Amino acid sequence: MKYKHLFGPVPSRRLGISLGVDLVPHKVCSLNCVYCEVGRTTNLTIERKEYIPLIDILTELENYLNEKPDLDYITFSGAGEPLLHNGIGKVISFIKENYPQYKLALLTNSTLLYDENVRMEILDIDLLLPSLDAVSDNVFKKLNRPNSKLDNSKIIEGMIKFREDFLGKIWLEVFIVPGLNDTKDELELLRNTINDISPDQVQLNTLDRPGTESWIKPITKNRMEEIADFLKPLPVEIIAKFQSRNKVKSYKKDVEQQIIETIKRRPCTDIDLSEMLGIHINEINKYLSELLLEGSVTSSQQERGTFFRAK
């Protein structure tokens, strides 16, 4: 079976071997973050609907999971906001009822957690990985460029309420963009707010490959360590570079080779590569990150997006 809505399993920085489930089409999102690694948001929305037929997602999951794959997590993620799919609760119940041996994780930008129905639908997951990059309205708008109907104070309130009802783990990610959310004022607001949310871990992240806007630069290691110290006693960690490919069971040398051979001939975007090679875009991105990290691939920002070429 050719899978359209499942990807991987991919090596994930935080989750080990993770099977991705993509519930919305590419770049259907409630935010348009300046650092987004999968390009600009093309549908900036907070409308929840069945973006992909539920039956298609369940059929793919059934086919894949019946083979009893060895996975650390099944993860709702992708190149958009998973909570925008109004069937996520049904997908969670389907997996929990039929394949209870698998742990479920959800990567979300948190924006829909203000909605009580959304919070109820995801109570059965094992691990929530929400994002919170800014507290002040001003920085939220500059950094995350939200849909105009979103109100950050309501989102934060929703996160606090979810923590009260949720029995699983919460690892909250803060993506640091120098010049935007690394000021003393914003960091103080973040520290107080995160304290109220009370996650099990706070994970600091920064750019490891080109973001949507070419002016975004990664923060230095020293500055990141200072920020981590500033946020203590919160349980802060700086997310390490992702697992070396040699240690990752699912890292496929032939996929890496196909990517390199393609971009040797001409520079391509991640979308081009995905279409040409018939590999899910998220999977392509994992390989590109690893190749960029080791320096065998370079990138440049052009009008149509970020282009990758082999060195």
Residue 31, interface with ligand SF4 (CB under 6 A)? yes
Residue 285, interface with ligand SF4 (CB under 6 A)? no
d(CA 106, CA 294): 29
Residue 29, interface with ligand SF4 (CB under 6 A)? yes
Residue 170, interface with ligand SF4 (CB under 6 A)? no
Q: Which residues contact 283 (CB under 8 A, 6 or more apart)?
A: 7, 8, 10, 20, 255
Residue 83, interface with ligand SF4 (CB under 6 A)? no
| CB closer to ligand SF4, 148 vs 222 | 148
| CB closer to ligand SF4, 22 vs 186 | 22
| CB closer to ligand SF4, 54 vs 207 | 207
d(CA 287, CA 252): 9
The region of 30-38, 94-102, 275-283, 299-307 touching ligand SF4 under the rule CB under 6 A is 30-38
Residue 109, interface with ligand SF4 (CB under 6 A)? yes
Q: How many residues bind ligand SF4 (CB under 6 A)?
A: 10
Residue 113, interface with ligand SF4 (CB under 6 A)? no
Residue 45, interface with ligand SF4 (CB under 6 A)? no
| CB closer to ligand SF4, 35 vs 162 | 35
DSSP codes joined into one string, the chain: ---SSEEEEEEETTTEEEEEEE-S-TTEES---TT-TT---SEE----B-SS-HHHHHHHHHHHHTT----SEEEEESSS-GGGBTTHHHHHHHHHHH-TTS-EEEEE-SGGGGSHHHHHHTTT-SEEEEB---SSHHHHHHHH---TT--HHHHHHHHHHHHHH--SEEEEEEE--TTTS-SHHHHHHHHHHHHHH--SEEEEE--SS--SSTT--PPPHHHHHHHHHHHTTS-EEEPPPP--GGG-TT--HHHHHHHHHHHHHS-B-HHHHHHHHT--HHHHHHHHHHHHHHTSEEEEEETTEEEEEE-
| CB closer to ligand SF4, 41 vs 206 | 41
| CB closer to ligand SF4, 31 vs 227 | 31
Residue 33, interface with ligand SF4 (CB under 6 A)? yes
Residue from 6, 15, 24, 36 touching ligand SF4 (CB under 6 A): that is 36
Binding to ligand SF4, residues 61-80 (CB under 6 A) = 80
The region of 29-37, 120-128, 187-195, 296-304 touching ligand SF4 under the rule CB under 6 A is 29-37
Residue from 12, 18, 41, 205 touching ligand SF4 (CB under 6 A): that is 41
Residue 110, interface with ligand SF4 (CB under 6 A)? no
Residue 32, interface with ligand SF4 (CB under 6 A)? yes
Please report, as ranges, the residues that interact with ligand SF4 according to CB under 6 A: 29, 31-33, 36, 38, 41, 80-81, 109
